[in-house]
Amino acid sequence: MKKKNSKDGSGSKNQKPVNTEQIRKGLIVAHRGVAVDVVFDDGECEMVRVKRRSGHVVGDGVAVRGEVLKRLPRRTELRRRDARGAVHLVGANLDVLGIVVAPRPAPPSGFIDRAIVAARVANLQPFVVLNKSDLDASAELFASLLATYSSAVSVFSLSASKGQGLDPLLDFLAEGHRGAFVGTSGVGKSSLLNVLCPGIDLGVGEISEYGQGRHTTTVATLNTLSGGGELIDTPGFRDFGLVDISVQDLSEHFPGFEKARDSTCRFRDCRHRSEPGCAVVELVTQNQVSAERYENYLEILQEVEAAEEETRRRGWKN
Ligand code: GDP
Ligand code: ZN
C-alpha cells in the first residue's frame, strides 16, 4: 500500500498534482483525532484532515474531493458509553462482534448475555471467544459456554498467548468481514489483536489510556487480516465496552429465547415475567428453556429495569 500525506507533502517528490474535481471513494482505516487515514479504492492511503467532532469513524466509507470528505451511508453503527455516561460511536459498517471471556478474570454475571443482546440490537452477529485455553479451568468453562450458547452463536476456544486454536476464528472472520472485540480488562483482547493482526503492536497487560505509549495519537484503527476479514480496534471501546441495553432489547434478543419468536407472546411489549400468554414462560414450562437460563434472564431484567430508572433520573440520553 502506497502511503502519502495530503497536507505536508512528505511523500514522493513525483506526486501528481491533486485534481480537486476528482471524487475518489475510500475507507477510513485510522482515526487520529484531527485527521483520518483513508485507503482509496486504488489501494492508495492518504491522511485527510477532519474536524475534531466531525463524526467520522473507522469503517466509514467516504467520498473525497480535494480535501473535502463526505461520509457515505452506514450499514451498521457500533456505540459505547463512557464512564460519564456519554455515548460514542466507535466504528461503522461492522458485521460481527467477538465477546471475549477467560477463566481468569471470569466473566461478570450477565456479561455475555448483555453483549449478545447489544450486538443483535446493533445488527451485528455476535460470537463468543474463550481465551486462555491453556489454563486448566478453561475446559469446564468451555463446556458450559457450549451448553448455554452454541445453539445461538458460535463459540471459539483458543489461547492468544500460545497462538493455539486460532484457525477456526480466522476462518470465521474471513466470512464475517469486519468485527471488533469486547470483553472485560485482562481477558486478553490486546493479546488476541496482536496475534491476529501482526503489526498492530498493542501493549499487553497495560491499562490503556490516552496519552500513554504508542497509541497517543491513533485513537482507532481498522486492521486487515491476511486470510480475509478486518478487525477494528479502539482503545476506548476496549476499556469501557458497549452501551446499555433496554428492557425491550433484552426481552427481544436474550440468547436462548429464539424459539419464542415463532410463537409470540400475547403482548407485544411482554417482559416474559408474569404476563398472561407469554411464549417464553411456556417454553420454560416445556423445558425447552432451562429454569436456570430463565432465572438468569429475570436477574438481568431486574438490573436493566433499575438502570433504566437510574438513566431517567439522571437524564442521560441514548
Ligand atoms: P486485555 O486487557 O483484555 O487487553 O488483556 P491483555 O491482552 O492485556 O492480557 C491480560 C493478561 O492475560 C496478560 O498478562 C496476558 O499475558 C495474559 N494472557 C493473554 N492471553 C493469554 C492466554 O492465552 N493464556 C494465558 N495464560 N494468559 C494470557
Ligand atoms: Zn413473554
| Range 77-232 has CATH code 3.40.50.300 | yes
Tell me what the mean pLDDT of segment 270-281 comes to. 95
Could you give the CA distance from residue 257 to residue 251 in angstroms, rounded to a whole number? 8
Tell me what the mean pLDDT of segment 9-32 comes to. 71
Q: Given this model, what pLDDT does residue 244 score?
A: 85
Residue 55 carries which DSSP code? -
The domain locations on the chain are 23-71, 77-232, 247-317
The Å distance, Cα 293 to ligand 2 centre, comes to 14
- How crowded is residue 137: how many other Cβ atoms within 10 Å of its Cβ? 12
**Phi–psi pair at 178, nearest 5 degrees:** -135, 130
Task: Write out pLDDT tens, residues 283-301.
Answer: 999 999 999 999 999 999 9
Q: Given this model, what pLDDT does residue 310 score?
A: 87
* Non-local CB neighbours of 165 within 8 Å, separated by 6+ positions: 133, 156, 157, 158, 159
**For residue 15, is pLDDT > 70?**
no
- State the cell numbers at 18: 491533486
**For residue 8, is pLDDT > 50?**
no
Task: Write out pLDDT tens, residues 204-223.
Answer: 765 444 444 444 445 789 99
Task: Write out pLDDT tens, residues 82-97.
Answer: 878 788 898 999 999 9
**For residue 138, is pLDDT > 80?**
yes
pTM of the prediction?
Answer: 0.88
Do 116 and 99 form a contact (C-beta atoms < 8 A)?
yes
Percent of all residues in the chain with a pLDDT value above 90, rounded to a whole number: 69
- For 247-317, which CATH superfamily applies? Probable gtpase engc; domain 3 (1.10.40.50)
SS3 133: coil
Beta bridge partners of 28: 38
Q: Given this model, what pLDDT does residue 215 score?
A: 42
- State the cell numbers at 266: 400475547
**Phi–psi pair at 252, nearest 5 degrees:** -85, -30
The Å distance, Cα 287 to ligand 2 centre, comes to 15
The Å distance, Cα 286 to ligand 2 centre, comes to 14
- Closest alpha carbon to 6 in 58, 64, 62, 60: 64
Q: Is 187 in the pocket of ligand 1 (CB under 6 A)?
A: yes
> Which one of 181, 204, 212 would you pick to mutate in the ligand 1 pocket, going by the greatest count of ligand atoms within 8 A of its CB?
204
Q: Is 190 in the pocket of ligand 1 (CB under 6 A)?
A: yes
Angle made by CA atoms 25, 31, 33, in degrees to the nearest 5: 125
- For 23-71, which CATH superfamily applies? Nucleic acid-binding proteins (2.40.50.140)
Q: Is 194 in the pocket of ligand 1 (CB under 6 A)?
A: no
- Binning pLDDT at 50, 70 and 90, where does residue 175 land? very high
- State the cell numbers at 2: 502506497
The residue ranges of DSSP E strands in the chain, in sequence order, are 3-5, 23-31, 35-40, 45-49, 61-65, 68-71, 77-81, 87-92, 96-101, 125-130, 154-157, 178-182, 220-224, 230-233
Task: Write out pLDDT tens, residues 179-202.
Answer: 999 999 999 999 999 999 987 777
For ligand 1, atom 13: residue with the closest CA: 205
Could you give the CA distance from residue 258 to residue 177 in angstroms, rounded to a whole number? 25
Most confidently predicted of 40-54, 99-113, 206-220:
99-113
Q: Given this model, what pLDDT does residue 206 score?
A: 56
Beta bridge partners of 221: 30, 233
